Chains A and B, each alone.
Chain A
Amino acid sequence: MTITLLRRLGPPLLGGVVALGLTPPSNAAEELRIGYVAPTTGIFAQVGKDMVDGFQLYLDDVNSDFGGAKVKFIVEDEQAKPDTAVTRAKKLILQDKVHMLVGGLLASSGYALAPVSTADKTVYVVPVSAADDLTQRDLAKYPYMVRTGWSSSQPSHPFGQWACDQGYKKIVAVGADYAFGYEVIGGFQRAFEACGGQIIQKIWPPIGTKDFGPYIPTIRQDADAIFTLMVGPMSLQFPKQLAASGNKKPVIGGGTSYDEFVLPSMGDEVIGHVSALQYSAALETPKNEAFVKKYRAKYGKVPSYYSETNYTTAQMIHEVIKNNKGNFPGAEEFVKQLATLKLDTIRGPVTIDEMRNPVQNIYIKKVEKKKMFGYDKEELWNTVIKTYPNVSQFGQFKKDEFLKQPVYSRDFPPCKFCN
């Protein structure tokens, strides 16, 4: 009897099973191809690695699943050369058919990739490249670009106000001689002088300077404090040499001077130095603590802002895709949605302004030696001593006036009090 039953039910059952197999699932999961451009070889390889690691950590956290879409993460090496960045981007767009480009380290890479995004009508998300004008005076040229990181002068504007509040009246600025240096210091100078301070001297050691011997003795003695903007190896050497020269003045600086990328290799000479950035690994929030612990366990180092900004960028992309039920809504729509996103991230609440740059907290952080997050060794951390909420790229200044003035450069703002 059973056999006859099976024979009767068999075909419809089989048919049903086959039919189920052939029917596509109700929410068609797209593959989301993200093309990532970073220097993975060459002298910036470690920074590139931190960038990729940050993004990858987020992907691991959500199993590469963005609201139903399966993420294909393709990383290409730009070797920190703008033309290589362009070639790689083209490869990602033309050959791998990515839905969006993410990445770029240096300002020149950002300026190289942005036009590619316009020409090929591809989304370009910028987590690191901080060149001010990308989202200021040049914005109209790049309708497919959204910045999720920061602009160079963004932290400097509130920092200038903070410096006035400390009672500093005269400050000497020592910064790396390139556009990033000009923008960080320029923003600080404008803000500091707007509340009554004076920048009395600007010194620009060339990029790659290791011996600051020629420059340190020229620092004016009547300064109340020294503002430094250093990157990479320069960040390590300048404070040491400054201390060895007998400097007793307080030292403050741009975020990259003391960022966690270089902090582990620094010594006690930087204790007490204050800087400003939209992130500190010592941010005492549960979200950040979890992130730092997870990152450190996986990669063996405390995350720098390069890692955090990429993690957060991945999170933001995820949010937009999730809102589209796992589908990529097309380049224009994606840009529109990303540009109107409000999200609570590791670095705090982030929204994007109408010029497609983040509006976020800026943390004033001071280097301290202590134990944090349950680690048993005393280490250097950037303790947050003040938070300025909702800081946009224009800071305390009005957007229209701001844009009428030229971009910060070596000679702008002019050094009125230098003589």
Chain B
Amino acid sequence: MKSQHIKVLIVVVALAAIAIIIPNTNSFVILLATRALAFSILVMSLDILLGYTGLPSLGQAAYLGVGAYLTAILATRYQFGLGYDFWLVVVLGILFAAALAAIFGLLAIRATGVYFLMITLALGQCAWGLAYRWNSLTGGDNGINLRARPKFGIDLANEVTFFYLVFFLFAVSLLLMYTLVRSPFGRSLAGIRERELRMKILGYNTWLHKYIAFIIAGGFGGLAGVLWAHTAGIVSPENVVLTTSVDALLMAVLGGAGTLVGGVIGAFIVFGLREYLSTLVPWWQYALGAVYVLTILYLPTGLMGIPERLRQRRAATANREDVKKMAPVTS
């Protein structure tokens, strides 16, 4: 398993690099990195469903929304979550989102493939409708404005401090999800992705496995939402809109589904293009669309899949050389 160790090492080094380099750039880059990291938690949660269980969900934004709105409502209505109780809000955000996933999951898990896509889309739209319509709770389209970031010994209003907090929670999430996918439970998820029928024959309760994965993904989505609320300081139905779910899906595929960190890479690239490129050139939308199309066409395993493909190509070339050597020489 040496290659696995190497991969882990690379990820750890990359994370350390991010943690060290980013705070020394300018405030705008720090802000972007913070946003990308928070959203990456959502993308990674989607990857658990998509990459590891084979369930393409077009409704993950709903869980981001739950976490975000919960944070905002508690902060503005009940002055809750602005001190050490911030950590309580984190827990609540995860629980509430997981609860929603438990409800939605009951409706969605029976479906597979395209139908799963459709039903999660429909459920996501219902969540949006709720956020929009339930004015008294969510503020409707005005959104909810969080006035200040929490202070508990450290002041999160400081961009660098907040960056470290988000980074810390991101790293913890990554670690937890990594442990999950390498656990026996995670392996059975992969098995379900490959051949669900076979898993059923082997006696696995595939429905339950998928359901649990769905709830876990929802929970992490909620965490992402809590952080997201504090990053921008405003929560609105825009956070729960269809394109947010589509974004997450595209980022996961761009980076490479089934790799966890692929989603993070995808998130950074898309945010970079969207937020940074758009300040430089007006045709950034075409660039983004082209990136999606080209990746899907030529890099089906995403960016993280490039080393593997190179290796395969090298192996194929080596094979051909070997075959040539073996070919009988006709004289």
Measured CB to CB, the closest approach of chain A to B67, in angstroms, equals: 14
B161 within 8 A of A: no
B9 within 8 A of A: no
B232 within 8 A of A: yes
B145 CB contact (under 8 Å) in A87, A94, A112, A409:
A112
B234 CB contact (under 8 Å) in A41, A76, A91, A111:
A111
Given that A77-B278, A82-B236 are contacting pairs, would A115 and B231 also be in contact in the complex, using a CB cutoff of 8 Å?
no
Residues 227-245 of B at the A interface (beta carbon under 8 Å): 228, 231-234, 236, 238-239
Q: List 9 A-B contacts (CB under 8 A).
A: A41-B285, A83-B232, A83-B234, A94-B26, A108-B234, A112-B236, A116-B233, A177-B133, A206-B132
Q: Which single residue of chain A is at the shortest CB-CB distance from B29?
A: A95
Instruction: Provide the main secondary structure of the chain B interface.
Output: helix
Which of B83-91, B134-142, B177-185, B186-194 makes up part of the contact surface? Answer: B134-142
Using A95-B28, A108-B143, A115-B145 as known contacts, list a sample of 4 further A-B pairs with CB atoms less than 8 Å apart, ordered by residue number in A: A108-B238, A111-B143, A112-B233, A119-B157
Residues 259-287 of B at the A interface (beta carbon under 8 Å): 275, 278-279, 282, 285
Measured CB to CB, the closest approach of chain A to B323, in angstroms, equals: 53
Measured CB to CB, the closest approach of chain B to A188, in angstroms, equals: 19
Contact partners of A410 in chain B: CB under 8 A: 135
Contact with B along A173-193 (1 / 0, CB 8 A): 000011100000000000000
B31 within 8 A of A: yes
* A207 to B278 CA separation, bound complex (whole angstroms): 28
A131 within 8 A of B: yes
Contact partners of B27 in chain A: CB under 8 A: 90, 94-95
Contact partners of A95 in chain B: CB under 8 A: 26-28
Contact with A along B129-173 (1 / 0, CB 8 A): 000110100001111010100000000010000000000000000
Residues A83 and B147 in contact, CB atoms below 8 Å apart? no
Measured CB to CB, the closest approach of chain B to A404, in angstroms, equals: 20
The count of residues in chain B whose C-beta lies closer than 8 Å to any C-beta of chain A is 29
Binding site for B on A (CB under 8 A): 40-41, 76-77, 80-84, 86-87, 90-91, 94-95, 106-108, 111-112, 114-116, 119, 131, 141, 177-179, 206-207, 409-410
Contact partners of B282 in chain A: CB under 8 A: 40
Contact partners of B285 in chain A: CB under 8 A: 41
Instruction: Provide the main secondary structure of the chain A interface.
Output: helix
Contact partners of B236 in chain A: CB under 8 A: 82, 108, 112
Contact partners of B145 in chain A: CB under 8 A: 111-112, 114-115
Residues 24-69 of B at the A interface (beta carbon under 8 Å): 26-28, 31-32, 35
Residues B142 and A115 in contact, CB atoms below 8 Å apart? no
* A258 to B275 CA separation, bound complex (whole angstroms): 34
Binding site for A on B (CB under 8 A): 26-28, 31-32, 35, 132-133, 135, 140-143, 145, 147, 157, 228, 231-234, 236, 238-239, 275, 278-279, 282, 285
* A82 to B35 CA separation, bound complex (whole angstroms): 14
Measured CB to CB, the closest approach of chain A to B145, in angstroms, equals: 5
Q: Which single residue of chain B is at the shortest CB-CB distance from A116?
A: B233
* A356 to B210 CA separation, bound complex (whole angstroms): 55
Q: Which single residue of chain A is at the shortest CB-CB distance from B135?
A: A410
Measured CB to CB, the closest approach of chain A to B64, in angstroms, equals: 11
Residues B275 and A87 in contact, CB atoms below 8 Å apart? yes
Given that A131-B142, A178-B140 are contacting pairs, would A83 and B239 also be in contact in the complex, using a CB cutoff of 8 Å?
yes
Measured CB to CB, the closest approach of chain A to B324, in angstroms, equals: 54
Please indicate which of the listed interface residues B32, B228, B231, B236 has the most CB atoms of chain A within 10 Å of its own CB: B236
Residues B232 and A87 in contact, CB atoms below 8 Å apart? yes
* A286 to B59 CA separation, bound complex (whole angstroms): 55
* A108 to B232 CA separation, bound complex (whole angstroms): 12
A115 CB contact (under 8 Å) in B31, B35, B147:
B147
B142 CB contact (under 8 Å) in A80, A111, A207:
A111
Measured CB to CB, the closest approach of chain B to A35, in angstroms, equals: 11
* A40 to B238 CA separation, bound complex (whole angstroms): 17
Contact partners of B26 in chain A: CB under 8 A: 94-95
Please indicate which of the listed interface residues B31, B140, B234 has the most CB atoms of chain A within 10 Å of its own CB: B234
* A119 to B230 CA separation, bound complex (whole angstroms): 14
* A131 to B234 CA separation, bound complex (whole angstroms): 15
* A174 to B232 CA separation, bound complex (whole angstroms): 34
* A41 to B288 CA separation, bound complex (whole angstroms): 13
Residues B239 and A94 in contact, CB atoms below 8 Å apart? no
Contact partners of B143 in chain A: CB under 8 A: 82, 108, 111-112
* A102 to B132 CA separation, bound complex (whole angstroms): 27
* A73 to B161 CA separation, bound complex (whole angstroms): 32
Contact partners of B228 in chain A: CB under 8 A: 83
* A256 to B275 CA separation, bound complex (whole angstroms): 31
* A108 to B143 CA separation, bound complex (whole angstroms): 6
